[in-house]
Amino acid sequence: ETGVTQTPRHLVMGMTNKKSLKCEQHLGHNAMYWYKQSAKKPLELMFVYSLEERVENNSVPSRFSPECPNSSHLFLHLHTLQPEDSALYLCASSQEQANYGYTFGSGTRLTVV
């Protein structure tokens, strides 16, 4: 596979569940990102990983926990979410020190019930 792959594409979870979103990139990039996209709202940057180290955490609630085990994989662990956390969660990757922009995955549509 090429590009950025996100799984699952759709997820419905209860507020007491624990689930994880997965992102995988096959582009040789060294930076990865999690974005949240809610209806009628702009893209919200959640986390940035550079060379597998978290370099940015934009005041995201602790019920969202990222993990970057290597430069090709990024996870977002979810627990005790709220209905307002329902959104499209997008993963992206890029090559730092370059200016070619980000490559996005297709996203995971999350619904919290």
CB 78 within 8 A of CB 63: yes
Q: How far is the CB of 9 from other proteins (least distance, A)?
A: 9
CA distances from 27 to 2, 21, 67, 93, 106 (A): 7, 19, 19, 8, 15
Give the range of 12-20, 59-67, 68-76, 86-94 binding other proteins by CB under 8 A.
Answer: 86-94
Give the range of 14-22, 62-70, 73-81, 93-101 binding other proteins by CB under 8 A.
Answer: 93-101
Q: How far is the CB of 88 from other proteins (least distance, A)?
A: 8
Half-sphere exposure at residue 23, Cβ-oriented, CA atoms within 13 angstroms: 31
With CB under 8 A as the contact rule, the residue among 24, 64, 105, 110 that binds other proteins is 105
Residue list 3-42, contact with other proteins (CB under 8 A): 4, 6, 31, 42
Q: How far is the CB of 60 from other proteins (least distance, A)?
A: 17
CA distance 99 to 88: 25
